[in-house]
Copies of this chain bind each other. A is one copy, B any other.
Amino acid sequence: MKADYILFEPDVSTAADARLVVLTGDRPTGPLHLGHYIGSLRNRVDLQDTHDQYVLLADAQALTDNGDNPDKVVRNIFEVACDYLACGLDPEKTTICVQSCLPALPELTTLYMNLVTVARLERNPTIKEEIRSRGFERDIPAGFLCYPVAQAADITAFRATLVPVGDDQVPMIEQTNEIVRRVNRLVGIDLLPSCRAMLSKVGRLPGIDGAGKMSKSAGNALNLSATPVEISNAVKMMYTDKDHLRAADPGKIEGNVVFAYLDAFDPEPDAVRTLKEHYSAGGLGDSVVKKRLETVLQEFLAPIRTRRLQVSSDPGYVRDVLRQGTEAARAVTSSTLAQVKRAMGLPEI
């Protein structure tokens, strides 16, 4: 059996005859940040040249744990769409679509829910961990427990074969492939393709406080839409090596957030290597390294911010992108649903 995941390789499709179909997306619960860029957005910008790529604004999934606050989800759909366009997702190459406007997805979800047991969902490691981290206990919404099934509906509806995810989401891909096998066995043909997780080669970007990964909820994020002042403040607050008290002392690279960001964003890796050597040996102050990082981040984010302002000041354009993407996605997903229902023998009225 093929492994359920591969490492990120934009040119993986060249090995196969058909273009691989990639599905990714984000829960629109807040603005995207540098962690999203490193973890997925930049890969998407690469993938769109070589793959059929769908990017899902997963508002319906965001409602599974924001059921009592749809406003929060709804207002972020536009914001995240602007982030996408600002980062270089090209609507001519990538289909950007809104999940709640694709009725085939909940219909497939409810069909698949009959083929998955509650016990299996409760054993899903991602669900277990998220229940724990959200403090849900038994008060978990039914929609949240079933969201792996909804994700299987998303993936299969688009006939996606490659799904870029974080390593914590690999169990979701396994769950999807179980459902794929179950459906194919039930209807007696290989109707749905199985998929593979595509893991990013680089690790997660730490938060500016160095405490775990960058995340909005942890309050340690630097947004893609950050102003120059916000960028400057974030770099000032950034953790380095807490034992590196004087410039003359040797400093640690490992766990040093500033170097992690330089590794991720500095366009001159050789210069970063030299800086690291100097810092490790002693004689290089944090302020010098931070100054370089600030320049790098200002230069990196300036064109994104400009493009974002341009895009967000033309909401008609953003709406057109979402409308066209969603219409295209509706055609694909409805076609898959019709095939599944027909193969199950369900009536067409």
Q: Give the B-binding residues of A (Cβ under 8 A).
A: 59-60, 63-68, 70-71, 74, 77, 98, 100-101, 103-104, 106-107, 109-111, 113-119, 121, 138-146, 149-150, 186, 322-323, 326-327, 341, 344-349
Contact = CB atoms under 8 A, between A and B. Distances in A.
A103 B103 contact: yes
A74 B68 CA distance: 37
A349 B100 CA distance: 9
A271 B238 CA distance: 94
A88 to B, nearest CB: 23
Contacts of A98: 347, 349
A140 B118 contact: yes
A66 B141 CA distance: 24
B103 A116 contact: no
Given A70-B346, A150-B110, A346-B59, A115 B141 contact: yes
A11 to B, nearest CB: 33
A107 B341 CA distance: 16
Contacts of A141: 113-118
A145 B149 CA distance: 14
Contacts of A117: 138-142
Contacts of A145: 118, 142
A229 to B, nearest CB: 32
Nearest to A77: B347
A113 B100 contact: no
Contact of A67 (B64, B114, B121): B114
A119 B344 CA distance: 32
Given A64-B113, A100-B346, A326-B349, 13 more contacts: A60-B111, A63-B111, A101-B347, A101-B349, A106-B110, A109-B110, A113-B141, A113-B146, A114-B143, A117-B140, A118-B142, A118-B145, A119-B138
A146 B146 CA distance: 10
Nearest to A78: B347
Contacts of A323: 349
A98 B65 CA distance: 31
